[in-house]
Structure 1
Amino acid sequence: MNPLDRHAFARCGVAAVLAASAVVAAPWAASAAENRPPSQPALSELTTENEACVAGADRPYVDTRPTLRTVLRDPDGGRMSAEFEVSWTDGSGVRQIRTSGTTTALLSGSPFSWTVPTDVPAFTEVSWRVRASDGTLWGPWSSDGGSGPCEFVYDTEAPAKPLVSSPEYPDDKLWHDGVGVYGTFTVDSTSDDTVSYRYSFFGGPQLTALPAEPGGPVELRWLPQSEGVKWLDVQSVDRAGNASTPATHQFRVSGGRTAVAAWTLADPTGASEAAAEAGGRTATAGDGVVFGAAGPARTSVTGAVGLDGSDSAYLTSGAPAVDTGGAFSVSAWVRPDVVAADMTAVGQGGAAGFGLGAEDGAWSFSVGGSVVRGGVPETGDWAHLTGVYDPVAGTARLYVDGRAVGTAQNVTGTSVSGNLQIGRTLARGSASGNWRGGLAGVRVWDRIVVAAEAAGAAKRGTVSEGYWALDEVTGGNSPERDGGRPLTLGGDAAIYRDGAPCDWLDPDCLPGQSPLFGSGHLLLDGDGDFAATDGQGIATEDSFSVAAHVRIDAAAQDRPMTVLSVGGEGNSLAEVRYSGSTQNWEMALTDAGGEQVTLTAGGAWASPDDVHHLALVYDDEADEILLYADGQLSARQAYRPGWTTTGDLQIGRSQGVDGWGGHLAGAVDEVHVYAGVLSATQVAHLAVGATDV
């Protein structure tokens, strides 16, 4: 090879080697050349003790040394560190700076945090910023490029205890009016950094009120629901969340003011006007009003008036009873003889004032043109209606038989002229809505009647209709305590008495067993035995309650058996029974059309050979049926059966399409029948053996 060619070849080889080297080194050189600094932290991802990054007047105030947080990112990925910096101007005008130093390295996109040092002063505007490093390059500060720093103030001092005053309910150890009357409570602070007040009335839920400006006052409105010693607890809260020592405003609430106008309407037959129970003005009656009618049963109302629905069916006091633009309440016992017509029981000022009565097939209460409806009127049945107008809440509420059935919102009452009318609406000389039926116990208040008062006014008592101790038997009958109809024993039913002599071969003779209660109980063998009131029926068109103690024989525990039933025409209207398949108590109801509903007592095991207490309660006013087992409410259902019959009480059997069945094998004792609704407390008393409630 020519030397020149050899030299040329050598040069080419070296070039090739160098070229190859360049190819291998290129990726490393490119990486080093392209390493980019971390990204500038985004202000949206910076927080001061979970508060957003803000400067100026909106800077957050914190009550502890705050933890500063951010999220850092590197466009090249990998691990990175943070540096936080806080700064402030001290009292000498010298700028102070503290930094976190370089934090532990974390992957790009990770959160970073730092709690500021202990020498950061309170009540000083503090700025902070943060930047990131990838170990080689530092990224820009979060404040760079015009973004600006984050700021905070560390505030460790609680505001002063607030001041509380009330013109209606001052803290003066005197009793003040009263249930159903709003009180205004003014809360103020001497600390100009108070931004909210935390408060609660009488140990109720804690609420928050905001003043119009820091350190300013707030007004709280509160409606007493009951009389007694009450209190308002309040704390001032500053921008940092520091709360003051609680201030307690104690006050005394008297009972609610009595009605400003009232008429019992229980005047004697032949009267022409109703005497005033309150307010001092008699109510003159039109020709369509008849005094001397019967009032609602089991109440303190001793009489009523009947109105025939004609244009002259009304009474009027000749004066307004209340300012319809302020708080007021009105109530009455009402009995409609028709339910298709719109009728007014009590009204004042026409549609612009108020009206209490029935409208569009429902009970109704109207105020200032707004109407609330609820509940269903029933022909010939008494109901208690209460209408309440609350101008502070802007509501009109209607109670039927003591239960709230509806509330209208955004109601505005209007002060209008017009005399109070009973049994009609009268506006601008034109009358309408004349009542057809009975009215009694009309009352009007210049305050709010609270829920407990509405319930109490509508309460009907319970009246014992029969109590059979089942301790003795004479001529096949076990006597009723007060001389009412005895329970007639049928089949082989017997009264078992402790220590009573019997043939030990007789399977009904149970030596060594004591009566369930007292000195005896009713013993049934499940083979056709029963006891019945035989002619002293239960009036099922009104509320009633039936209760008894029972023990199921273990030998018959697999079969269904009836403990109590109320007889109808050819079938039992209601029965309380034992399910042998599930060993549960059940309640079966059959309406006038033959439709049957069955309810199972939840959580109440009907254990054989143990003594249990059962109570069936029908609430006609609430249209519901209830079953209690061992003193506890175990089943409940809305029910409108349309019962109108009077049925005998049957013990130990029920009637169906196939005749009598469900005969009970076991013992029954302490049987009670009441007109009215037994309360849960009354049932509990009977369950432990009380002979009356």
Structure 2
Amino acid sequence: MVRHAFVRCAVAAALASSAVVATPWAAGAAENRAPEQPARADLKTGDKECAAGAERPYVRTRPQLRAVLRDPDAQPVSAEFEVSWQGGDGERQVRSASTTSKRSGSSFSWTVPEDLPALTEVSWRVRAFDGTAWGPWSAEGAPGGCEFVYDNEAPAKPSVASPQYPNDDVWHDGVGVRGTFTVDSDSDDTVAYVYSFIGGTPKTVEPERPGGPAEFSWLPEREGPMTVSVQAQDRAGNRSAPTSYRFRVKKGSAPAAHWKLADPAGSSEGAAESGGKPARAGSGVTFGAEGPARTAVGSAARLDGSADAYLSPGAPAVDTGGAFAVSAWVRPDEVGRGMAAVSQDGDGAAAYRLGTDGDGAWSFALGGPEGAVVRAKGGTPESGEWAQLTGVYDPAEKTARLYVNGRLVDKAENAPAPRGTGDAQIGRALGESGQGGNWAGRIADVRAWNRVVVPAEAAQLAERAAVRAGHWRLDQAPGGASPEEDGGQPLRLGGDAKIRRDDQTCDPLDPACGPGNPAMVGEGELLLDGDGDFAATGAPVVDTGDSFSLAAHVRIDPAAADRTMTVLSLPGEHNDLATLRYTPQRQIWELALAHEDRAGAETTTLKAENDWASPGDAQHLAVVYDDGADEVLLYVDGTVLARAPFHHAWKATGGLQVGRAATADGRGEYLHGAVDDVHAYAGVLGEQEVARLRVSS
């Protein structure tokens, strides 16, 4: 008995001793705090936010579940993810996985297992473990857990129909006429339709309810067979096989009204070219004035700006209840007040008004309810200068567009539907005080359409052909003058300038001799030694107050690569309007245009920064001044390398200069090299035309 008691006492003492030693550890364990509950904002199903119920995301691939986990003691933590769903047998299925430890605040992820069923609501949750304690599950308490549906099945192909453009073998109206397309799906989970026209950017339209129909509109801008491809898309992003809907678009319909105003002098009305009625002229109108040069518009009506300066057919030109467009060639004699070229009477004011405003800009104005007016405006009218104006109203987009000389200068948004069933007016517009804003100047070729005029058509309306004013092949120079191709002014050679022909014998010691430097174009080229050599016409070859273009082939002699040299210039009395030169600092081509005909005038300079003017190599240069757009372009080897606005055109009074320019000390910047195949045009050369000149022979 004594022995057993002793043993019991010894065990008790040992336990007591153990308890005393363990006390600090127990205190430390009590201080450890469990990891935090994952925040809902830190949970994602793939790239989608955590959501449940009707907001649960649909995913097209087995998602990677992601969570940011934190520990209040900044201890490393690991994650346990769990997914669950109702199996087909009614039993709850659960899958889980744990990760390795990371620092507190790290992102953890797990890709759900492959046996995850499709088209089934799946719940998931996550919790953190710090090596001692588990934190609460993310789904505990409000707002609950995360859910998703794995959907890997594409919806059915959609159907497509259009009343304006049916899928048949018939050609339907037409360029500028908007069509409505209805798409539908047999899949009740379709939430969007992705459509694209050939060459267009894909766009998306959504039905009001999943699986329902949707509509989109489209405005054809060119004629020909068309195709729209449509795919149905479900909530997971799965897309159906495409449906290709084919239809045929006719060219744009003719104007609903058209008055050329090219009637003989003494006429009392402008004949109706198509649609509408003849436009009766007021006493302030006379016919037989000259129309815009280089166009098919031969003549125009002149309006004197008085109250009797107008024409009217006594009927509307367009139905302002839908899409419409109006255009005219105009040449104002005044620019300090608002003037109307074309308008249509509305209820107490013009429904639309095309012309100038009082701020010195071209304007296309729409009159809406309660006197509201929306204007598209831009460009600068110039007294005595022709411009082509086109105004377009698109009710589907609620926009008013203004084109000046074929270029869009402004688009006004939220344009009201204009109200106006009154008479069309040419040269005036209805305002609060009655008809006014009478035009002073010329008007020609007035047109109106009951449709949208598309950009390509607006550009075509404003086309002004470039007319060749001079072409010098520089293959020969009988009597010291290289003839112009069409019998115009020759380029007379000055200094020691000469024509070198490929078939000529020459001094073998002359660096220009031999087969190493054949003519750039044709059988010969103009050689200039940089010491007073040049070629020039006796008088101007183009009207620089209007659009013009110049072009030439040139080759710089490498021996002169360190000096400034001019290829072409257009002189006035005191200054050169335009100087196309080589600059040695960066070995590039530049074009300088003087704002005035005076020494030291301000200039606009264009630099071909992205091209090296390689001495010894032939290059093609072109200068294009577009007076209608107030813009100048510099081409090198068929590519536009510089462009700039230019509003200061004046008429050069001297002949075209090849190989020299005006300087402070008289003529200088003489070219050392060769020039060939020089062209001059009245008008604007397009990119393709410049490219053709580059390869001409």
- TM-score, scaled to structure 2: 0.91
- The answer to whether the 8 A contact 1:160-1:245 is kept is yes
Correspondence for 1:47 among 44, 47, 50: 44
Task: Give runs of aligned pairs for residues 118-517 of structure 1, distance below 5 A.
Answer: 118-145=114-141, 147-350=143-346, 351-360=349-358, 361-368=360-367, 369-426=373-430, 430-500=434-504, 510-512=513-515, 513-517=517-521
Would you say the 8 A contact 2:552–2:675 is kept in 1? yes
2:663 maps to amino acid: G
Distance, in Å, in 1 between the alignment partners of 2:161 and 2:506 is 80
Q: CA deviation at 1:379?
A: 0.5
What is the CA–CA distance in structure 1 between the aligned matches of 2:505 and 2:105, rounded to whole Å?
94
Q: Which amino acid aligns with 2:643?
A: R
Q: Closer, same or farther in 2 for the Cα pair 1:47/1:562, shift >3 Å? A: closer
Deviation at 1:669, TM superposition (A): 1.6
- Pairwise CA distance, 1:101: 4.8
Contact 2:577 2:594 in 1 (8 A): yes
SS in 2 for 1:475: helix
In structure 2, the partner of 1:590 is 594
Shift, 1:501, TM fit:
5.0
In 1, distance between residues paired with 2:273 and 2:248?
28
Is residue 184–residue 221 contact of structure 1 (8 Å, CA) maintained in 2? Answer: yes
Q: Distance in 2 between matches of 1:378 and 1:501?
A: 55
* Change in 2 beyond 3 A, CA 1:588/1:148: closer
The aligned counterpart of 1:67 is 64
**C-alpha distance in structure 1 between counterparts of 2:343 and 2:425, whole Å:** 5
Matched residue SS, 1:538 = coil
Cα distance between partner residues in 2 of 1:277 and 1:294 = 19
Residues 1:130 and 1:478: Cα distance change in structure 2 (over 3 Å): closer
* Amino acid in the other structure paired with 1:483: G
- Determine if the alignment matches structure 1 residue 646 to structure 2 residue 653: yes
Structure 1 residues 529 and 99 mapped into 2: Cα distance closer, same or farther (>3 Å)? closer
- Is 2:276–2:313's contact at 8 Å kept on the other side of the alignment? no
Of 322-331 and 115-124, deviating more is: 115-124
Aligned residues: 672
The alignment partner of 2:24 has SS state of helix
Instruction: State the one-letter code of the partner of 1:639.
Output: F
Shift of 1:519: 2.4
2-side partners of 1:422 and 1:615: how far apart? 40
CA distance 1:501–1:75, change in 2 (3 Å):
closer
Q: 1:71 to 1:477 in 2, by over 3 A?
A: closer
Distance 1:614 1:43, change over 3 A: closer
Paired position in structure 1 for 2:674: 667
Q: How many Å separate the matches in 2 of 1:138 and 1:609?
A: 81
CA deviation profile, 1:103-144 (whole Å, cap 9, x unmatched): 434444333333333333222223333333344443333333
Q: 1:37/1:641 Cα in 2 relative to 1: closer, same or farther (>3 Å)?
A: closer
Find the partner of 1:618 among 619, 625, 644: 625
Asked if the contact 1:491/1:530 (under 8 Å) is kept, the reply is: yes
Deviation at residue 163 of structure 1 after TM alignment = 1.2
Q: Which moved more, 1:325-334 or 1:84-93?
A: 84-93
Percent of aligned pairs with the same amino acid: 59
- Relative to structure 1, the CA distance from residue 60 to residue 628 in structure 2 (aligned partners, 3 Å threshold; closer, same or farther) is closer
Q: Counterparts of 1:595 and 1:136 in 2: how far apart (Å)?
A: 82
Q: How do residues 23-34 of structure 1 correspond to structure 2 at under 5 angstroms?
A: 26-34=23-31
Closer/same/farther in 2, CA of residues 651 and 81 from structure 1, 3 Å limit: closer
Task: Give the CA deviation at 1:68.
Answer: 2.7
Where 1:28 maps in the other structure, the secondary structure is: helix
Structure 2 vs 1, CA of residues 615 and 84 (structure 1 numbering), >3 Å: closer, same or farther?
Answer: closer
Structure 1 residues 82-91 or 350-359, which shifts more? Answer: 82-91
Q: Is 2:85–2:94's contact at 8 Å kept on the other side of the alignment?
A: no
User: Which residue identity is paired with 1:260?
Assistant: A
Render the CA deviation track for 1:224-244: whole Å, top value 9, x for unaligned. Answer: 111122222111111222221
Alpha-carbon distance in 2 for matches of 1:146, 1:536: 87
Instruction: Single out whichever of 195-204 and 184-193 deviates more from structure 2.
Output: 195-204
Distance 1:224 1:112 in 2: 51
Which of these residues, 624, 640, 643, is aligned with residue 633 of structure 1? 640
2:6 corresponds in structure 1 to: none
Q: Classify 1:521/1:104 alpha carbon distance in 2 versus 1 (closer, same or farther; 3 Å).
A: closer
User: In the alignment, is the contact (CA less than 8 A) between 1:545 and 1:674 conserved in 2?
Assistant: yes
- 1:20 to partner: Cα distance: 12
**Which residue matches 2:692?**
685
For the residues of structure 2 that align with 1:582 and 1:63, how far apart are their CA atoms? 57
Secondary structure of the equivalent of 1:213?
coil
CA contact (8 A) 2:352 2:418 kept: no
Q: Secondary structure at the match of 1:555?
A: helix
CA pair 470-67 structure 1, distance change in 2 beyond 3 A: closer
Aligned to 1:608: 615
In 1, are the aligned partners of 2:539 and 2:653 still within 8 Å (CA)? no
Query: What CA distance in whole angstroms lies between the structure 2 residues aligned with 1:43 and 1:591?
Result: 67
State the 1:467 CA deviation.
1.1
| Residues 520-539 of structure 1 mapped to structure 2, 5 A cutoff | 520-539=524-543
Deviation sequence 1:642-661 (CA, Å, 0-9, x none): 40343310111112342111
Contact 2:632 2:643 in 1 (8 A): yes
SS of structure 1 residue aligned to 2:25 = helix
Tell whether the 8 Å contact from 2:128 to 2:134 is kept in structure 1 after alignment: yes
CA distance in 2 between counterparts of 1:238 and 1:629 reads 52
> Is contact 2:470–2:541 with CA below 8 Å preserved after alignment?
no
Could you tell me how far 1:441 is from its partner in structure 2? 0.7
The CA distance in 2 between the partners of 1:321 and 1:444, in whole Å, is: 6
Change beyond 3 A, Cα 1:444–1:76: same
Letter in 2 for 1:653: R
* Shift in Å, 1:549: 1.6
| Further displaced range: 625-634 or 384-393 | 625-634
Distance 1:570 1:139 in 2: 89
Q: Is the 8 A contact 2:572 2:651 kept in 1?
A: no
CA distance in 1, matches of 2:631, 2:205: 42
Give SS of 2:609's match.
strand
Cα distance in 2, alignment partners of residues 474 and 179 from structure 1: 55
Residues 344-381 of structure 1 deviation map (CA, whole Å, 9 limit, x = unaligned): 00000154400100002110001122112100000100
Query: Structure 1 stretch 509-518 or stretch 295-304: which is displaced more?
Result: 509-518
State the Cα distance separating 1:536 from its structure 2 match. 4.4
Which string of whole-angstrom CA distances, capped at 9 and with x for unpartnered residues, describes residues 321-353 of structure 1? 111121000000000011102110000015440
Contact kept? 2:541, 2:680, Cα under 8 Å: no
Kindly indicate whether the alpha-carbon contact (under 8 Å) linking 1:100 and 1:114 is maintained by their aligned counterparts in 2. no
Q: How does 1:562-581 map to 2 (within 5 A)?
A: 562-581=566-585
* CA distance in structure 1 between the partners assigned to 2:230 and 2:205 by the alignment: 10
What SS does structure 2 have at the residue aligned with 1:562? strand
Contact 1:538–1:566, Cα closer than 8 Å, also in 2: no
Alignment of 1:551-570 (within 5 A): 551-570=555-574
Cα pair distance change 1:175/1:35, threshold 3 Å: same
Pick from 32, 35, 40: which aligns with 1:38?
Answer: 35
